[in-house]
Amino acid sequence: MSRSARVAPTCTSLLLALALTACGGGGGGGSAHGSPGAPGVGDPYFPKAGNGGYDVTHYDLDLAHDPDHLTGTATISARATQDLSAFDLDLKGLDVDGVTVDGQGARWSRAGQELTVRPRDGLDEGETFRVTVRYSGTPGTITDPDGSEEGWLRTADGALALGEPTGSMAWFPGNHHPSDKASYEVTVSVPEGLRAVSNGELVSERSAGGRTAFTWRTAEPMATHVVTVAVGDYDIRRSSTADGLPVYVAVDPSLAGTSRKVLSGIPGIIEWAADTFGPYPFSSTGAIVDRAGDAGYALETQNRPVFPGVPDTGLLVHELAHQWYGNSVTPKTWRDMWLNEGFATYAEWLWQEEHGGDSAQETFDALYDHGERTYEDLWSFPPAKPTSAAHLSNSPVYQRGAMVLHKVRQAVGDDTFRALLRGWAAAHRHGNADTADFTAYVEKLAPGKDFDGIWADWLYGNGKPAHV
């Protein structure tokens, strides 16, 4: 990793002998107490993602975007969960220009995606602190184990930042694991004539010196992988739902006409989803629609999902359903991905069922009988046990995850299942949950039912279950 120009000349000789001693940044003195926080949370698929020893409460990101260059200051508010002599932030690439903790210069070092920070005097368990990182450089892309690209993606007129599962570390330092959610304020300065769109609500827009700065605020907790920044020459549309929820849509001008009809359906989808899943969990909604070549997939970025090209209604329903299942109720680890995708896929089934399409039972039966024709890997692994990080977005997680929910619906009946959809979203609103939490919730909701066969055959079982 490249280092700041502030690194002392003696660092090279010291690194071999003192591999864990930071050479960057300012500030010395003091005797730190405690122990270093873990350089990862031990996720089963991304063990180095996230960090131990602290919990982030707020990110304040101040970014300046120019073609192929990003300058940033990240101020991260957090609480120590142990006595800390040092802690890590995830940051891949980019050059660190300086680090402070509570305004005092801190020592730091780089190793792979880990930025290790050593506060001057250490931190006590329960202590709140603010770490500020100044950084710059050319942000890059990260290739997932499944071959898709994320991170800071260059577009014809700007950039698009996508983070699932680990791409956000390509453009800001943080605790990049879904188990640590926080509020955000993101300010992005861009050349005048472009727009910068992010999550939450636009709270200010200021132009000076040939540049415009856009500040976006997200008060509700958000995981780092669903944070986004989109820079481009967007066509902006503002509206609201019947309940007054702001709808902010940013569309590439080349798609403005062809996208208008489907995107005008956002208020209606949100109202249907709120009736089905419970109150909308955030303070605004909308979408970002870029050209098809700008990204290889749609993503449920919080408040404002991103689409490469004009989505159809089914995909729009899917990504908006994620605002409940995935963004508000967020998985504890990436092994629990089916709780995101199974629910969002089943939301598509419900939408079809209630809007003149196939019933969910018909969709289930067709998938069971002929699903291999469309999804060759449908029965290759159970939804709760993806075989590797490369398979987290494969069809068993999505389609078979939805089939688990349909089997639960068959077992409990429609009325209880509707209560389950709303109750699950309410029980873990703005929190985290895993598969064990879900199975326990279902069993408590319907104590007279036996779910052992569903869990064993459909959720955890290998191969194609018997169709009973």
Q: Average pLDDT by consecutive 10-residue portion of the chain (468 residues)?
A: 28 34 45 88 97 98 96 98 98 98 98 97 97 98 95 96 98 98 98 97 98 98 98 97 97 98 98 98 98 95 98 98 98 98 98 98 97 96 97 97 98 98 98 98 97 98 89
> Residue 32: its pLDDT value, please?
65
Query: What global pTM score does this model have?
Result: 0.93
Asked if 79 contacts 55 with a C-beta cutoff of 8 angstroms, the reply is: yes
> Residue 33: its pLDDT value, please?
81
Q: What is the mean pLDDT of the chain?
A: 93
Residues contacting residue 167 through CB under 8 Å, at least 6 positions apart: 141, 142, 150, 151, 152, 161, 225
Determine phi and psi for 311, rounding to 5 degrees: -80, 155
Q: Distance (Å, rounded) from C-alpha 274 to C-alpha 19?
A: 53
Sign for the pseudo-dihedral over CA of 262, 263, 264, 267: positive
> Residue 22: its pLDDT value, please?
41
Residue 182, strand partner residues: 222
